[in-house]
Amino acid sequence: MERLHKFMARSGVGSRRYCEELIRQGRVKVNGQVVTELGIKINPSIDIVEVDGKIVRPKEEKIYLMLNKPAGFITSVTDMYGRPTVIDLLGGLSLRVYPVGRLDFNTEGL
Q: Which of 47, 79, 88, 104 is the catalytic position?
A: 104
d(CA 96, CA 37): 38
47 is catalytic: no
The residues facing 100 across adjacent strands are none
Q: Are 59 and 44 in contact (CB under 8 A)?
A: no
Phi, then psi, of 8 in degrees rounded to 5 = -60, -45
Phi, then psi, of 42 in degrees rounded to 5 = -130, 165
CA 88 to chain centre: 23
Q: Give the catalytic positions in this structure.
A: 104
